[in-house]
Structure 1
């Protein structure tokens, strides 16, 4: 059986989706949010299950969920609302092939043994589809509410990585263990630097979750990552507004761009040349219905980067 790391990078640049699955940051979506009485940053999850299943059927490589324990209106983003591991368990049950990633679990806010048990449960229930993105966190308001020290998050992060990598061996009394037993090590991706030295991350982590940026930004960042981590995967995110006109040129906005599919292929090609291994598309700015955008990308863009998708597209009646 292939590992989730192997599946992520198979065939070159792969394309996934970052949740939540709504388009509340488009003009129409924001008007709908206000009409529904939802606070800014709280997504519409009405169709999340159907869209997650569609992404799986269409051949997107991964679904990524964020870890936002508490909604802070001053930050203004509740992510996908649901608790990360609980939600991944649900997604594992309604999908078959798509990888399931966290971007990223804030380790210092969590009890280490329960984090290991949660991750092992998802890895087992999903049949080895977990990609465990982890971070030290960046919202000082959360730490005292969880009884944690913000200033200690870097040291706490290192301790928890050691426990996860060792699967708690040496941390428990004889005869005591965390179940279910993992068949292989957890694939650990770091978001940012997590208060660590780059060399330490390159040695102890299996991949990198990078902040959104332009191809030029990623060219520099990939070089820095490769210098300490070699060929370990480099992942990033892109906020997409997919235009109906396939020839509409790319217009950059914060964290991404509006573009027709031809310009989007050009941008993704540039990211591939920069060394990006996986890009997760974020659709909250997308003005078109998400099922429509997913289907166009699956039929016209995924096969461009992974020829194996041509057969899936034909089977799905997308061409």
Structure 2
């Protein structure tokens, strides 16, 4: 893939976005909680601060926080338990370099003005290490609880995203929204983003066409899919973004690192392999255009600290650039 002429989205050529996502490079993040809990829907959150520090020191590029307000037994997972914005501030205080990202804020269930206030506040509290990942959610049972219509979530996502951009990028804006009220130029949201603007990424499809995501978001992180079809997916994304603009594509996956470094790759519900097979996989995917892999350790039987140590020593340095 040719990257020499590619440029970052406007306003994102400096700061955390350009550190986590780089043309021709592959970086690695972790999806919280940083523990394996294959037999439970609820993690223990034991030593979570210490493990976040270990990930930071080990060269991981991001910790991703999910937005799961309720325990839905049919869904079977509560994420990291804590609210992502609150937990993000805690992790920011405990780390130095790693990005703190949301994966993703369920925008149709939240007031976008409050999300904007929280996001820019967290952006400053992290020293510009915040990445705002947005989604429409995948749990229909939550929508009636919030008095929200599941069927128009895609339209409300677009309206909420537009409002986020307006209040974080303009001073005393004038804006009319079909779902979220109006601004008449008399009010200004403070603080504004730490850098030129707040990076916003699509987590999943967000109920939108790929072309819309490519035009309005700064990157796309999807779930693990058929790796044989991955080049075609990335090609569609790149064409939708345009040949000169670098908007990263990444994916999240359940993950278990085998103690045997030569264990073969097994896919299905996640990735299970020794480090050598993973290195081969990720080198190929880097060439195919994958920019970021977010690892979810929920299914892992192995101690997370051991997994982080091995990846930090043998894998991450091979992809540093």
Out of 184, 194, 204, the residue aligned to residue 206 of structure 2 is 194
Out of 297, 301, 314, the residue aligned to residue 283 of structure 1 is 297
Q: Which has the higher helix share?
A: 1
Q: CA deviation at 1:205?
A: 0.6
Partner of 1:64: 64
Counterparts of 1:117-128 in structure 2, within 5 Å, are 117-128=117-128
Q: CA deviation at 1:157?
A: 0.5
TM-score, normalised relative to structure 2? 0.87
The 8 Å contact of residues 215 and 270 in structure 1, kept in 2 or not, is answered as no
Partner of 2:262: 247
Q: Return the alpha-carbon distance in structure 2 between the equivalents of residues 84 and 9 of structure 1.
A: 21
Q: Return the alpha-carbon distance in structure 2 between the equivalents of residues 217 and 68 of structure 1.
A: 30
Q: Paired residues, what number?
A: 293
Counterparts of 1:91-240 in structure 2, within 5 Å, are 91-167=91-167, 169-171=173-175, 172-182=183-193, 183-230=195-242, 231-240=246-255
Task: Render the CA deviation track for 1:46-99: whole Å, top value 9, x for unaligned.
Answer: 111110111001110111111111110011010111011111111111111001
Partner of 1:310: none
Q: Which deviates more from structure 2 when the two are superposed, residues 196-205 or residues 96-105? A: 196-205
In the alignment, structure 1 segments of 5+ residues that lack a partner are: 31-39, 308-319
Q: Return the alpha-carbon distance in structure 1 between the equivalents of residues 127 and 301 of structure 2.
A: 35
Q: CA deviation at 1:214?
A: 4.0
Q: Return the alpha-carbon distance in structure 2 between the equivalents of residues 192 and 262 of structure 1.
A: 29
RMSD between aligned alpha carbons? 1.6
The 8 Å contact of residues 164 and 186 in structure 1, kept in 2 or not, is answered as no
The 8 Å contact of residues 67 and 106 in structure 2, kept in 1 or not, is answered as yes
In the alignment, structure 2 segments of 5+ residues that lack a partner are: 1-12, 176-182
TM-score, normalised relative to structure 1? 0.88
Q: Which deviates more from structure 2 when the two are superposed, residues 46-55 or residues 206-215? A: 206-215
